[in-house]
Amino acid sequence: MTNRLEGKAALVLGVAPGNVGEAIARRYLDQGARVLVAGRRADALNAVAADLGCDARVCDITVEDQVNALVADAVQRLGGLDIGVNASGWGLLKPFLDHSRNDLEQMNAIQFSGPFQYFQALLRHMPAGGSIIQISSVTATIMFDQHAAYMGTKAGIDHVIRCIAHEFGHRGIRANSIAPGGVADAPMSGGGLHHPAIAALYQREIPLGRSGLAADVADAALWLASDESSFVTGQVIHVSGGQTLRRNPSMVDVIAAATSS
């Protein structure tokens, strides 16, 4: 099925070369949407936009004025807004007792207060309904060592998504999260998953027996953006091959695998 997003306008925030945000933007364009991509690093963002052939705007999700200006500009350039995606994140790995106040404030800005204000801006510019999509993580549900600030803020913003679904459903707004596991071809988790022993550890915990890919997440984001999911809201859609049925490997296991060869 082609052109599933024909006539729709989408804003994807958190785009960088090779990441999940880029994969989602590419899929949306392939399916007929008008797309504007946004991210913090100008050179990387502009390279992606040139490759995709779409509009771009630099935006730091932690700066409220930039977020508000981004959404207003997207509406103007795209002629409205039907889909808003947040794929921003910071994969901090640090023991619980080593988290500094600065770490916590930075993580909160990137993964909680920034997305919260981004969603506020989207809602102000989507009066006739639309789809809001947050890229979450399997670790908002199952444990992973040395990842508490990341996991906690992802879980918190998932609940904010539920609040949006609850409060704005009467306006035709649908709000959902997508929770991937490790994504083998994305920068945040792909490095470790390129190591055969580490990949094998994760695949042991995934019933479908393979690591996730950015395309898997993009497929879910396409469905949530399309009219095919018109009665789906307030959900966390896990795209992890069933990993929540099992667990993440321990950090001890990961380190042992990384140093085994």
Q: Tell me, what's the pLDDT at 191?
A: 59
Q: How confident is the model at residue 61 (pLDDT cuts 50, 70, 90)?
A: very high
- Residue 227 scores a pLDDT above 70: yes
CA-closest candidate to residue 19, choices 167, 149, 188, 174: 188
Cα separation of 25 and 140, whole Å?
24
Tally the C-alpha atoms within 13 A of residue 122's C-alpha that lie toward its C-beta. Answer: 31
**Total residues found in the chain within this entry:** 261
Q: β-strand 55-58 against 9-13: which pairing, if any?
A: unpaired
Residues 6+ apart with CB under 8 A from 121: 67, 68, 70, 71, 72
Percent of the chain, pLDDT > 90? 86
The answer regarding whether domain 9-188+212-245 maps to CATH 3.40.50.720 reads: yes
Determine whether 28 is an active site residue.
no
Cα separation of 69 and 63, whole Å?
10
Express each pLDDT in 185-210 by its tens digit: 988 665 577 788 888 888 999 999 99
Cα separation of 254 and 259, whole Å?
9
Mean of pLDDT over the chain = 95
Annotated catalytic residue, options 28, 118, 150, 202: 150
Q: Under a CB-based contact definition with an 8 Å cutoff, are residues 180 and 139 in contact?
A: no
